[in-house]
Amino acid sequence: MANIYETENFVVESQSEPFVSRTDGGHIRIRIKDKSITDRTKLESKVAIELMRLTMIVGEAFEIAMNNRGIPVVKINYQDMGNWAYKRNEKPFLHVHIFGRATNAVKQIWPESVSLPARESGFYEGFEPLNTEDIEEVKKQIFQAEAKEKYQLKNWGI
């Protein structure tokens, strides 16, 4: 995993073993730094607002970045999960998966729902993570989105 961006309470990171290959739209995860927080119902109001703002910024930036990189992303999907932690007898922690959905996807076909079979199923073999250039473009677009009036902290009460 490569860190893309951080806020006070969250880390945005690319996935080394993505659920959506970069050529099908790509996969980013936003995770909480405090891994004792298992899901969004455990968030304080300020942190919940921070998460909503961050998912919007990253989603907007991710769609633009992947299109700039030649991947025709038309939709962003957001999912918070954590079920697989139980397979490893671990406690889940809050994280949101952000999936780019490309019109020319081969494995995670648009407009079907993202398929998430078990890792050991072999479904994800050959999936490509975001590359260095993709990550740099996502970072660039995050900083551009963050500068927009609608994302200014004063407008979010944080």
pLDDT in tens, 21-76: 999 999 999 999 999 999 999 999 999 999 999 999 999 999 999 999 999 999 99
- Express each pLDDT in 92-150 by its tens digit: 999 999 999 999 999 999 999 999 999 999 999 999 999 999 999 999 999 999 999 99
Evaluate the CA torsion angle 35, 41, 47, 50 in order and state its sign. positive
Class of residue 104 by CB neighbours under 10 A (exposed 0-12, middle 13-18, buried 19+) = exposed
Q: Where are the domains of the chain?
A: 2-112+129-155
Going by DSSP bridges, is the β-strand pair 27-32/10-14 parallel, antiparallel, or unpaired? antiparallel
Given a contact cutoff of 8 angstroms between Cβ atoms, the answer to whether 14 and 136 are in contact is no
Please give the Cα distance from 100 to 126 (Å, whole number).
Answer: 17
How far apart are the C-alpha atoms of 102 and 72, rounded to whole Å? 5
Which CATH number is 2-112+129-155's, of 3.30.428.10, 3.90.1170.10, 3.30.1390.10, 3.30.465.10? Answer: 3.30.428.10
